[in-house]
């Protein structure tokens, strides 16, 4: 079957924490390990609810800072420090751009409500034909419903779509609905795998 749609995850694929020092320094300020502050921000109950759109991203950050006994008024500086080592993979975006007009391009992300504003501000939203953000659709990976929503919006069958994600259970979930999954490990390796699927010669 010909691949007609390529979907990407955002965090951990198109944008990755390439420099751990900013987050490490932030953790040390709170006398925490790196993994601990990661879990507080991403794995708390308020984070889960924000990912599902049940609470706003802002309320999640307020709850996070309150949990850390840190002034809520300093939320912006806290976020800047926490995400200070995160970098957009410009090479992957260049590849994504090269696919436009050839296949349907999409984003499927477990993310809070602020992601859309971020990709608009970074001027990368136009690289995607379809943008599926968990907080906007009320379901998140690995629930298969989020893939069904993406396929419906893209107007393609599951066996005509491929999804790239850095989390194995999410790849297994997309494959349950019939999509082809690529577990992200390395940018160039992912590009090569996609080229083989799309029968692209470079």
154-196 residue pLDDT tens: 999 999 999 999 999 999 999 999 999 999 999 999 999 999 9
Question: pLDDT class for 202, splitting at 50, 70, 90?
Answer: low
Band (90; pLDDT cuts 50, 70, 90): very high
Return the closest-CA partner of residue 41 out of 15, 96, 79.
Answer: 79
Cβ count within 10 A of residue 113? 18
pLDDT digits (tens, 9 = 90+) for 9-52: 999 999 999 999 999 999 999 999 999 999 999 999 999 999 99
**Residue 185: phi, psi to the nearest 5?**
-130, -40
pLDDT given for residue 1 in this prediction: 72
Per the CB < 8 A criterion, the answer to whether 24 and 34 are in contact is yes
Average pLDDT of span 143-149: 99
Which tokens in the block code for residue 154?
A: 């893209």
- The residue to which tokens 């994504």 are assigned: 96
For 132-140, what is the mean pLDDT?
A: 99
Tokens of 52: 């599902």
Q: List pLDDT tens digits, range 96-118.
A: 999 999 999 999 999 999 999 99
The mean pLDDT of the chain is: 97
Other C-beta atoms closer than 10 Å to the C-beta of 109 total 28
Evaluate if residue 95 carries a pLDDT over 70.
Answer: yes
Between CA 34 and CA 27 the distance in angstroms is 6
């Amino acid at each position: 079957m010909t691949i007609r749609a390529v979907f990407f995850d955002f965090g951990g694929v198109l944008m990755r924490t390439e420099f751990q020092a900013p987050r490490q320094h932030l953790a040390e300020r709170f006398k925490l390990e790196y993994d601990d502050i990661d879990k507080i921000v991403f794995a708390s109950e308020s984070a889960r609810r924000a990912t599902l759109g049940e609470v706003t991203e802002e309320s999640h950050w307020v709850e996070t800072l309150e949990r850390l006994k840190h002034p809520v008024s300093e939320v912006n500086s806290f976020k800047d420090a926490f995400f200070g080592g995160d970098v957009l993979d410009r090479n992957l975006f260049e590849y994504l751009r090269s696919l436009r007009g050839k296949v349907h391009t999409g984003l499927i992300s477990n993310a809070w409500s602020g992601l859309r504003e971020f990709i608009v501000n970074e001027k990368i939203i136009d690289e995607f034909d379809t943008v599926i953000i968990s907080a906007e659709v009320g379901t998140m990976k690995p629930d298969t419903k989020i893939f069904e929503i993406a396929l419906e919006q893209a107007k393609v069958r599951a066996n005509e779509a491929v999804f790239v994600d850095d989390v194995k259970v999410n790849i297994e979930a997309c494959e349950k609905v019939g999509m082809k999954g690529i577990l992200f490990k390395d940018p160039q390796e992912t590009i090569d795998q996609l080229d083989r699927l799309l029968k692209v010669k470079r």
